Amino acid sequence: MKTDVFSWMVGIGALKYERVFSEKISAQLGFLFSPNWPTWCSEECSTKGFAITPEFRYYLSKKPAPRGFYLAPNLRYMKIEEENREENGVATLTIISPAVNLGIQFVLINALLIDIWAGPAVNIKSLEETVPDMGISAGELGIRIGVSIGVVF
C-alpha cells in the first residue's frame, strides 16, 4: 500500500496498491480523491473530484519486483466537478489520460517503499458547463511526476 507525497500537500488523497505477479511483472491500482480539489477559482467556487489509475509494470532491473527500474503504461480516468455559487453554474471535466511512466522503486529494510516516477501523458477531455467559460480546463499533452511512500506486505 502506497500514498503520493505531493498529492496530500495540495489536499488530494491518494492510495495505491501494487500486486506482484512474477519477478518482472506487477500491476498497480491507484485512487485519487478530494472533497475540495485544488482550484484557482474564487472563494465562491467549490471543486471536488476523483481519479482511478490502473497500471501495468514491467521491471527492467535484475532485482525481482517490486524493486528497481520499471516501465509502466497506465490509463487514468479523472472526473472533476466545479460549482460556482456566484454564477450559479456547474462544470464537469472528465479526462481519460493514457501515459507511460519510467520509474524506480526502492524497498528499504524489507518494509518501507519509495517509488519515484515520471512520464508523458495525453489528456483526452470532455467538458460540460451550465455557464460558459467557468475556467475549468485541461491541456492536451502533459507530464506525470511523482513520489510515493508505502509499506510492503
pLDDT digits (tens, 9 = 90+) for 121-153: 999 888 887 766 655 555 688 999 999 999 987
Mean pLDDT of 2-14: 87
pLDDT over threshold 70, residue 62: yes
- And the C-alpha cell for 4? 503520493
Q: Which has more confidence, 37 or 109?
A: 109
Q: For position 116, what pLDDT does the model report?
A: 98
Q: pLDDT higher for 12 or 115? A: 115
Give the pTM: 0.86
What is the pLDDT at residue 6? 84
Residues 145 and 47: their CA atoms lie apart, in Å, by: 23
Gap between the Cα atoms of 114 and 3, Å rounded: 10
CATH of domain 2-151: 2.40.160
Chain centre distance of CA 42: 25
Which of helix, strand or coil describes residue 50?
strand
Residue 44 pLDDT class (50, 70, 90 cuts)? confident
Instruction: State how far the alpha carbon of 79 is from the alpha carbons of 10, 19, 89, 93, 96, in Å.
Output: 17, 25, 17, 6, 9
**Among 22, 45, 10, 14, which residue's Cα sits nearest to residue 115?**
14
CA-wise closest residue to 98 among 78, 71, 123: 123
For residues 59-88, average pLDDT:
92
- Amino acid identity of 131? V
